[in-house]
Amino acid sequence: MTTAQPRHLLDGSHRRMFIGGAWVEAASGQTMETRNPANGVVIATVPRAGKKDIERAVAAARNAFDGPWSRFKPHERQKLLLRIAELFERHWEEICVSDTTDMGLPIARARGNANRVLGMLRYYAGMATALHGQTIDNSLPGDIVSYTRKEPIGVVGAIIPWNAPTAASVWKIGPALATGCTVVLKPSEEAPLTPLLIAELMAEAGVPDGVVNIVTGTGTEAGAPLAEHMGVDKIVFTGSTATGQSIVRASAGNLKRVSLELGGKSPVIVCTDADLERAVPVAAMSVFANSGQICIAGSRLFVARQIHDEFVARLAAYAAGLRIGNGIDPETEIGPLISPRQLQRVEGYLRAGSEEGARLVVGGARLSQGALAEGNFVAPTVFAGVSDTMRIAREEIFGPVISALPFDTLDEVVRRANDTPYGLAAGVFTRDLATAHQLSRRLQAGSVWVNTYHAIDPAVPFGGYKMSGYGREGGTDHLDEYLNTKGVFIRID
Ligand code: NAD
């Protein structure tokens, strides 16, 4: 019997997790708190799942995969996804408030993501009826017909970080529903609430029991058993490169497929001919949006030497003018970092920047005036005089920190931009078409944006080069990650 889920109140009350269509507690009975990062207030408790709960969720996902879900026709999966999109649209404000309260994203930014998230759901809905194999002429003796079939891979384990719970959940669950897979999703322990709300909406839309399961818990107690589980056919992971590496190791037991969206240290290159009116705010928000907690943050800002000082001065003025505070205020542009731990980490980088000889241009410290003292706020920060070997220029900070680095020639900046273990994204500002094409070709990154940044579309593949991961989200490549290709030969002579 389904146990009812207490309402999504964000007032400190308890929420349950979702397994096999039921709202349940952890087998151990343990719970954990989640806090509003803007003021430290506990907004909910959730089950603290362990291995037994993962076992239960994987079994539910397997039963659903083998059961009625396998008989859903593509057009039925399409209708389901369209109903989910409709319900998301109707509950969009509740989803935004949930993300803002649980992980700090300014509500204005959360609201602005509507088209992206709804667009993803509708894109997958479209794709559900567009999946197909091929007939292939072969060279075999006799009369043998050969063709391929695309088949759902099975039970997918999805593990997501805290910086974009709604989009990350939809990017993992949407393609599973389109292709006929089932999912066990483990949200981040730092921001588990919106995925639970999403599960409620999916159940209301008519997703059959066990097709989508949400298991709340920590990385080691719930994430690792999911990554290791022999009954999971595929792991889709978004998070840090270090955790991605441990997931690859954990996947070895049954050689499950793995897709990884990992960290970055993305370069943004501002050429002498750039339109500075456009480049300054875009370069600034490429990092400061979501307080720098963005995998694609353009945190290495290479500026042509002739315009470097002017650009840095304009950037500093822009950073100093940003409105910082509790994201629930619609005027807020920059919210808090997710946790006191993340705050300490970012403060460590601020100290390292100064100690290694970078020049602090603006920001550089925790903000603790008035109500900000209750939360994890850091001033948007720009360092100049940064060299390529400093820690702030090499390591992912995941905070609102830009390192400005002058350059002289395009060959030099391409070499320096590519001199990183990461390869998630890159930005270029130029008015010259040839430079735009040449740099787009030469930069080693899964996404290159010219005269814009953050452009992400459900139809365009997104993912990493090098240690930023492998596999793609968005586009037809994304659906392929959830499918097996089977070759069939039938002798007809
Ligand atoms: P994280 O790697 O610490 O955690 C991510 C998820 O993995 C969480 O749910 C966590 O509980 C789980 N986890 C932790 N240890 C695990 C283990 N041993 N086995 C299985 N699961 C485990 O990352 P984070 O701090 O939550 O997020 C920040 C990182 O995510 C940054 O590096 C950022 O660049 C990256 N990220 C990448 C993208 C992308 O699309 N490339 C998007 C967002 C964030």
Centre of ligand 1 from the C-alpha of residue 163, in Å? 9
Cα 410 to ligand 1 centre (Å): 34
162 lines ligand 1 (CB under 6 A): yes
One-letter amino acid for residue 133 of the chain? G
What is the average per-residue pLDDT within 187-199?
Answer: 98
Specify the ligand 1 atom closest to the Cα of 188: 9
Q: Residue 251: which pLDDT band, with cuts at 50, 70 and 90?
A: very high
Segments of 372-482 assigned E as strands: 381-384, 401-407, 425-429, 447-450
By the 10 Å C-beta count (0-12 exposed, 13-18 middle, 19+ buried), 268 is classed as buried
Output the CA 162–ligand 1 centroid distance in Å: 8
Predicted TM-score (pTM) of this structure: 0.98
CA 87 to chain centre: 22
Q: What's the pLDDT band for 3 if we cut at 50, 70, 90?
A: confident
The residue nearest atom 16 of ligand 1, judged by CA position, is 219
Q: How many CA atoms are closer than 13 Å to the CA of 358, on its beta-carbon side?
A: 28
Domains and CATH numbers, the chain: 17-262+468-489 (3.40.605.10), 267-457 (3.40.309.10)
Site to substitute for ligand 1 among 295, 343, 349, 470, most atoms within 8 A of C-beta: 295
Sign of the Cα pseudo-torsion (54, 56, 57, 59, in order)? positive
| Percent above pLDDT 70 for the chain | 100
> Cβ distance 305 to 406 under 8 Å?
yes
Atom of ligand 1 nearest to the CA of 250: 19
- Residues involved in catalysis: 261, 295
Distances, alpha carbon 111 to alpha carbons 105, 187, 251, 334, 467, in Å:
10, 21, 36, 14, 32
Beta carbon of 172 within 6 Å of any ligand 1 atom: no
pLDDT for position 5: 86
The CB of 279 under 6 Å from ligand 1? The reply is: no
Verify whether ligand 1 is closer than 6 Å to residue 221 (CB atom).
no
* Ligand 1 contact, 446 CB (< 6 A): no
Going by their DSSP bridges, the two strands 22-24 and 17-19 should be labelled as antiparallel
Quick check: 117 and 88 in contact, CB under 8 A? yes
User: pLDDT tens for residues 342-393?
Assistant: 999 999 999 999 999 999 999 999 999 999 999 999 999 999 999 999 999 9
Instruction: Find out whether the beta carbon of 259 lies less than 6 Å from any atom of ligand 1.
Output: no
The alpha carbon of 53 and the centre of ligand 1 are apart by a number of angstroms equal to 20
Q: Is pLDDT of 413 > 70?
A: yes
Distance 239 CA to ligand 1 centre (A): 2
Gap from CA of 161 to ligand 1 centroid (Å):
4
How is residue 316 written in tokens?
Answer: 């500093």
Choose one of 237, 240, 247 to mutate for the ligand 1 pocket test, by most ligand atoms within 8 angstroms of C-beta. 240
| CA 263 to ligand 1 center in whole angstroms | 9
How far apart are alpha carbons 255 and 232 in whole angstroms? 10
Closest atom of ligand 1 relative to the 239 alpha carbon: 30
Ligand 1 pocket, residue 247 CB under 6 Å: yes
Residue 7 is predicted with a pLDDT of: 84
**H and E: helices and strands count for the chain:** 16, 18
Amino acid 224: pLDDT? 98
Q: Which of 320, 307, 319 is nearest to 276 (CA)?
A: 307
| Ligand 1 site, residue 258, Cβ cutoff 6 A | no
| Contact call for residues 422 and 396 (beta carbons, < 8 A) | yes
Q: 146 CB under 6 A from ligand 1?
A: no
| Ligand 1 centroid distance, CA of 227 (Å) | 13
Average pLDDT of every residue of the chain: 97
Higher local confidence (pLDDT), 230 or 8 = 230
Q: Ligand 1, closest atom to CA 161? A: 26
Is the shortest distance between the CB of 474 and ligand 1 below 6 Å?
no
State the residue for tokens 């404000």.
93
- Does the beta carbon of 435 sit less than 6 angstroms from any atom of ligand 1? no
What's the rounded mean pLDDT across residues 250-259? Answer: 98
1, pLDDT greater than 70: no
Query: Is the CB of residue 294 less than 8 Å from the CB of residue 259?
Result: no
What average pLDDT does the segment 95-111 reach? 97
pLDDT at site 234:
98
Ligand 1 atom nearest to 227, measured from its CA: 20
Residue 2: pLDDT band by 50, 70, 90 thresholds? Answer: low
How much distance in Å is there from the Cα of 304 to the middle of ligand 1? 34
Q: Inform me whether the pLDDT recorded for 394 exceeds 70.
A: yes
| pLDDT tens digits along 416-446 | 999 999 999 999 999 999 999 999 999 999 9
Q: Is the CB of 261 under 6 A from ligand 1?
A: yes
Task: Please state the atom number of ligand 1 nearest to the C-alpha of residue 241.
Answer: 32
Task: State the residue for tokens 């291995």.
Answer: 51
Judged against a pLDDT cut of 50, whether residue 134 lies above it is answered with yes
